[in-house]
Chain A
């Protein structure tokens, strides 16, 4: 197994700031926008972006939620393991809101497809956008593209992109892992 650093902590920080600015440009004061981090790993990106928007760009209030998509996945009973759920925490209505779905890595697009179905259980959003930190090019199974992307990478199917966060893994770093 070999691994290569895709993005360092410094690069991640710069990219997060750029993404925050792009969100700010489109959503201004976030009064009609909600951020939804996809469980389990998209929540870190959502929390970081919220922190930057609040602390550095003076946005007063942002609704942030976490969405678990396990029960909406299309591979139930297709793998060896039972799909285990994590917590969904959305304390607000998404009816007529502008929703930004946030995930760390966009790969086949199937999780996003599940998230698009799942979010409907909380109301009918005015629109849905997608933000991903890493976009794995040429590997989509579905016609899904992000509105905001951190970094586009070319990785073959045997490779894995691993995003690590200070809160959970000790440092911010993104690896490309080859088996």
Chain B
């Protein structure tokens, strides 16, 4: 077990348990590196990485770019809004043009599920999926599990509830795969309209009562209501959603035990969680962001070492 079983990171679905452990152990070392006074290592100085974003992103894009730079890779950034994609260029053409500039790795976010898989079959470069529609967001799930592992020492046997819009969430799907691989117990919680049918077949339990779910869990991962993906009305009003599925300090304090709050960001403050929860001691939201850089460094390092 000293290298990944895959050449691309397209989704957690394609990883095995050993891959996840290897990524975590490598990320431990990078976390130490990014806390040094000089936070950069020269490993990837002969690697060029293109960040290709067909969808908006702040955190993920910054986190990837920082991870790449801390590894000394050369980085080029591309965002669809300012590109020839608007003129009708296809995905393969766009990426092949970027690759002909001698790029070794592509980090891609795309609104269509499976875009990364499609690309990996058609172009010669290592592909990292930074989110493909409502499909997967593997590095987010890895950093979420890494943060749980950091907090509790282990992910196995922990009770994790994922709350919110499961239907449109790539974070939820990747998290379910990742947590299952590591032996955590998972519940999903949200309005029935936002829970996919047959989600139980993925090995999770459904709970529609937030208080019950919170009393059961060690960790609550609060998802954002993705207004941009809600094509029809899935719940009457945001206010009603917040009343039923939002977490506030009062609710948190009334639980039987102290639970850990996570959020993949960006937060809609006052909708899925209130400010006093987001900024409380129980929240590890900012740790997640720090761990994101270490996890992405690990993934890039391990994939780059397989580029021959």
Residues of A that sit less than 8 Å from B by CB: 68, 70-73, 76-77, 81-88, 117-118, 120-123
Contacts and interface: CB of A to CB of B under 8 A. Distances in A.
Interface in B264-308: 301-302, 304-308
Contact of B41 (A71, A77, A82, A84): A71
A6 to B, nearest CB: 29
A87 B26 CA distance: 10
B250 interface: no
Contacts of A85: 26, 29
B232 interface: no
Interface residues of B, number: 25
B305 A83 contact: yes
Contacts of A122: 36-38
Contact of A76 (B38, B40, B305): B305
Interface of B: 2-4, 26, 29, 32-33, 36-44, 46, 71, 301-302, 304-308
B199 to A, nearest CB: 35
B105 to A, nearest CB: 12
Contacts, number: 55
From DSSP, what is the main secondary structure of chain A's interface residues? loop
A121 B305 CA distance: 23
25 contacts: A68-B29, A70-B29, A71-B29, A71-B43, A76-B304, A77-B46, A77-B304, A77-B305, A77-B307, A82-B302, A82-B306, A83-B305, A84-B2, A85-B29, A86-B29, A87-B29, A88-B33, A117-B42, A121-B33, A121-B36, A121-B38, A121-B39, A121-B40, A122-B37, A123-B37
Contact of B42 (A68, A71, A81, A86): A71
Nearest to B301: A71
Contacts of A77: 46, 304-305, 307-308
